[in-house]
Each structure stands twice: as structure tokens, then as C-alpha cells.
Homo-oligomer: A and B are copies of this chain.
Amino acid sequence: MVEKYEYGSPVNTQAVVEEIPLQSGEPSFGRILPGEGFGYICPLEKQDVVYGLGENVRGLNKRGWIYTHYNKDDPAHTEGKHGLYAAHNFLLISGRRHIGLFFDYPGEISFDVGASREKELSVSAPQADIVLYLIEEASDREVVKTFRRLIGKSYIPPKWGLGFQQSRWGYRTAQDVREVVKKHKEAGVPLDIVCLDIDYMDGCRDFTVSSERFPDFPAFVQEMREQGVRLLPIIDAGIKAQEGWEVYEEGRKKGYFCRKKNGEEYIFGVWPGKSVLVDVFDQEAAKWFGEQYGFLISQGIEGCWNDMNEPAMFWSLDAVKELWEKVPPEEYAKEEKLTSSFARLQSGIQRFQDNPADHDRFVHHYEGRTYTHRQLHNLYGYFMMKAAREGFEKGMPGKTPLLYSRSSYIGMHRLSGVWTGDNCSWWSHLLLNIQMMPALNMCGFLYAGADIGGFGDDCTQDLMLRWLSFGIFVPLMRNHCHLDYKPQEFYQFEKKEEYRELIRLRYRLIPFLYREMISAAENNDVLFAPLSFDFPEDEMARSVDDQLLLGDSLMLAPIYVQNAPGRYVYLPEDMLFVKCLDSTHFETETMKKGIVYIKAKEHQAFFFVRKGQEKKIGEVFTELSIGS
């Protein structure tokens, strides 16, 4: 059962592709609040579990926190945050009833999931221009399937997208990349993709390659391809505002960059320095922007990752001007003011990054209307990816590009994957990775994953091995690391062979994983599910927040605590425990329904085969690797 309600003048976000007749009156569950803006409220029963919200902090069960979707480039994904890079406004209330709620709205929106009042879910947004979809089915899984039918089939990457990806912000030259590939090949560590971060560009400009650091790039792409490795370059949202540079000049001449209400180009700071933003909501501008990706295709590239597309802004020209107008900079150096005003400057400047107030300063043109950026903010990543996807389809007809994005809105799941942004080398982020997968899947993102080992902070060997032990089951499998932190390629650690065996194990799993993923996409199903999806009557299963079902045959229970020799696992039915000693040897043990403490060394991946699915273990392990 689907109900659709419209309030005000909603933006066409393109999230939903199925035509649903509009309903009037009050929704059959919960109610719309009167007053300013949009407000929805519904009761939560004691035993209800609330799933969903896609990419966000905290557990599988979202109860007990306020989540706010306003996409942001904030690398500190702590429990205290309310949102990350994405706006996946879908919730699933699982209890005596099974209810799905999708709030289709591209601006800032908040979900108070029983945090302020234990037995109440309330949703609020500053504008009452919203479409609400209410789904009720007989089970959690059916709610998800109905929602996924509404939003359309999920993106399936080319098979090589399930290969292992090695990345680092800091592969500065072709030689750096050659070294990485060489070391993997020499040690027999399978590798399909090396990601290129902004290092490859000429002055952080999109659609350029540094001819100094990457001379004859097409030949280099080919050289890597001959070794079975594809290069996957980054594209950032901000375009360098550099006079004389053809991409900037052309976009400016044609009026494709975002402007302020007074018609001036909107200037902000990001990696290239002074930058502009393409108005990807405008069809013509988007088409032009998409065609720029043709540069990459002309170099032999078959995909890319879109980054900084919340869009991230370090500062805006207007904010800088206002700062210096309020207190002229020379004032700060006067002896008597040297200190009294410095604290103000210090704290003021810290607030420049991704300041929502800046988002009111410039506009987009969409379907004949003009919107402030703030109104459409959460859609920017989607429309940027749409332009990219169309650019790739034009330049690479008949082939599916490998695409994934940092920022997203529901709907993008039809076009590309997502990675979960700039996480850290924290054990709690391994857990977050585990807990985010089902929520991302519910919102359509099947090709998804977190940076394994963590992007920020230093990764230790034990964390890397434990993370890989989960990562081998995750479709998007990438080891990525920040310039300022300890490099974390396999050869940086003592246990190189243990690392290698995990990657080899991944490759043995790929045929199974790819098949499961395609099947999930075709059936509008999840790849990763909470235990309660299949054991809704089992109170203990419903409370488990750190184990996942994978397809209909496996259960995962990763170890995510440092120095732990094992972990407690709840088996909701009899299962076969499979411990992988390396990529070719494994031990099995039949286990009874109930609680067990499983032991596994850091490099020993393990999983459970569900009752009656034991034949799958044969399928999984007799597959050949797709290799390179």
C-alpha cells in the first residue's frame, strides 16, 4: 500500500520514478502538524525498531537521536553529528506494523527519532513544499521492496568495479602509481583499480592532467590497463575560476556557472582556490558539464568518482569581503587591538567552511523556476552525477561506466554508487561501515562501501585486517588514505601475506557477490539486511545491531574491537560457521541456535551459512576469480 501526499509546491527531485496517484486528507499513519514549515509526527511503540536514513551516524536502529540532512563536508563522523554527506530521507518503522516513510524534499530536514520524546517520531523542515510517501506492507522487506519499486532499479557497476581498489590522496606522479601497482603484482595481491585523487590534476582543475607529473597520460592509462589495472580519477564540484583557461572561459561565456541574485558569478574557495560551481540543475549547463567528462574518456578512462559535491566550500568571496568590511584587516595589526580582536577573527574564520548562510547567496535555475542553492542543496550531488553519467553514456556508448559519489540523494542510486566519505581509521568506523550498509541498501544504494582502513588518522595493522575481513563482502572495496596520515597499502604492514590472502579471498567471492547484487537489484531487495528482516518474531534477533544477513544464505558478524580475540554472536537458527584460514583453506563447524563466542585471528575472515543454504558454501568457493 502506497499513499502519496503533496504539500505546498514541491521540487521535482526525480527520486521517485513510478506514478502514484495523489491522495488528499490526513495520512493513514501519523499526522501533519499545523504551523510554519513542514511537520509530521507519529507514535513509536516501545518495541518498534526504526531503520533507514541511509548514510548517517549511529546504529542500525536509529532510535534515540536527531538526524538532520543537509549535506556537508565534515570529516569528523562522530556520534554527536546529525548527518553526513547524503540526504536519504527514508525511514522504516518495524514493529507490530511495518511502515515506510519517504520525505521527498531537497532542503534541510530533521528526523527526531524518539530522542526528544521517547515514543514519538517527528520530522520537520523549514518549508512546507514536500511530497510524503507512506508505505505499509506485511513485512519490513516488503516495505523496502515497495519503496525501491517507486524509486527505480539500482545501478549495477561493471564487474571490475567489484575488484579491489587502492587509493591514496598523495599518489603524486605516474611513477608513484607504477610503484603501487608493481608492489601489488610482485606480491600477488589482486588489484583492479587505482584511484587518482586531486594529485593527478593540473592545479586542481577538473578535466586536466598534470603533464609534468603524469606525462602522456593516455599511454600511461594504457600501460596500467595492460597490467590489468584501471585508473579511476576524481572530479570535484568546484571549477577553478581561472581567466584564460578554456573550460572556465567557455562555461562563463555561456552563463553556466551559478550566479548571485544580482547576476554576479558566485565565487567561493575550494582546492583550486577561487572557484565557481556549474548550475547542474539547468539542463543546458548540465549537458555541457557532462560533456567535459569526455576529456577523461578520451584519455582511456572508464569511470570516475565525484567528490566535494555537497558542494564543499572553504569560504565564499562575499563572506570574506564582509569580514574585512566589518573590521578592516589593518585594524588587526594595531598594537592595542592585536589581541583583543584576534579571538574574534579566529573564531569567525573557523565558521567560514560550509556555512549555510552562504547558500542563500546564489541561485539555480530548474524547470523554469529560480531557487536559492539552500532550497536545492541536498540535490547538487545527484544532478552533478546525472550530468556525469550522461556524459559517459555519450562518450562511451553501450558501456556502463564505474561511477561513485560522495554526496547523494535518493535517485542517484539508479546512476552510480556511493562511498561513505572521509571516515577515519577508527574501530568505531568499521562498526559504522557495518551498520550503514543495510540503511544504504534500503535507500537503493547497492554499490556502496566505506574507505577500508579509514581515510583520516593512522591505520594500524590489526584494524586493517579486521576491516578487510568485513570489506571482502562489500561491493565497493577500496583502501583509501589521507595525505597527512600513515600510508596504508598492504606493503606498509608486517603481515603482508595475511593481507594478500584476504584480497584473494575477496576475488573468490566476487562471482557470488556480483550475482547476489544483481539479484538484489532485480528484486528491489537489499544485499545486507538486519537480522530482524528474516527473524521478525525473534526478540533477540531484533535487538542485534552488529550482525548482518547477506543475501538469503549468509550471516556476517565482524569483529570490530581492538585486541579482541573474538566476539559474541547470536544465531537466530542453526548455522554453519566458516572460518577462512587463508584464501584456500577453511574450517567449518555446525552451530546451534543461540549465543556463541567466536574466536578468529585478525586475518581470519569468517561467516555463517544459514540453515538449508549449506550448498551455497560450495558455490561461493568453487567460483573462479575474475582476476585482472
Name A's B-contacting residues (CB within 8 A): 49, 58-59, 61, 63-66, 76, 78-80, 115, 117-118, 267, 269, 273-274, 314-315, 317, 320-321, 324, 328-333, 338-340, 342-343, 345-346, 349-350, 352, 424-428, 456-458, 460-463, 494-495, 540, 543, 545, 561-566, 568, 595, 597
Contact = CB atoms under 8 A, between A and B. Distances in A.
A426 B595 CA distance: 28
Contacts of A63: 562-563
Contacts of A462: 64
Given A273-B339, A460-B115, A59 B494 contact: no
Q: Which of A64, A267, A350, A426 counts the most chain B CB atoms within 10 A?
A: A64
Contacts of A274: 339-340
Contacts of A463: 64
Contact of A597 (B61, B79, B273, B595): B595
B332 A426 contact: no
B428 A273 contact: no
A80 B338 contact: no
A427 B543 CA distance: 17
A63 B427 CA distance: 14
Given A350-B350, A352-B346, A562-B58, A458 B80 contact: yes
B324 A332 contact: yes
Closest 4 A-B residue pairs measured CB to CB? A80-B457, A329-B329, A330-B330, A324-B333
23 contacts: A59-B562, A63-B562, A76-B76, A78-B457, A79-B424, A79-B425, A80-B425, A118-B461, A269-B339, A273-B343, A315-B339, A315-B343, A317-B339, A320-B339, A324-B333, A328-B333, A329-B332, A329-B333, A330-B333, A349-B349, A350-B350, A543-B563, A545-B563
A80 B424 contact: yes
A606 B269 CA distance: 54
Number of copies: 2
A19 to B, nearest CB: 37
A557 to B, nearest CB: 12
A63 B463 CA distance: 12
A558 to B, nearest CB: 15
Nearest to A115: B460
A79 B458 contact: no
A613 B463 CA distance: 40
Contacts of A562: 58-59, 61, 63-65
Contacts of A563: 49, 59, 61, 63-64, 543, 545
B350 A338 contact: no
Given A324-B332, A328-B330, A460 B350 contact: no
A79 B460 contact: no
A352 B152 CA distance: 50
B320 A338 contact: yes
Contacts of A543: 563-566
A460 B64 contact: yes
Which has the most chain B C-beta neighbours within 10 Å: A424, A427, A461, A563? A563
A200 B565 CA distance: 50
Contacts of A117: 494
A428 B57 CA distance: 13
A58 B458 CA distance: 14
Contacts of A267: 339
Contacts of A64: 460, 462-463, 562-563
A329 B61 CA distance: 51
Given A63-B563, A80-B458, A115-B460, 18 more contacts: A49-B563, A66-B458, A76-B78, A79-B424, A79-B457, A118-B495, A267-B339, A314-B343, A315-B342, A315-B343, A320-B342, A321-B338, A328-B333, A330-B330, A346-B352, A428-B428, A545-B563, A568-B568
A259 B597 CA distance: 60
A145 to B, nearest CB: 25
Contacts of A331: 329
Contact of A346 (B115, B314, B317): B314
Nearest to A62: B563
Nearest to A338: B320
Contacts of A330: 328-330, 333
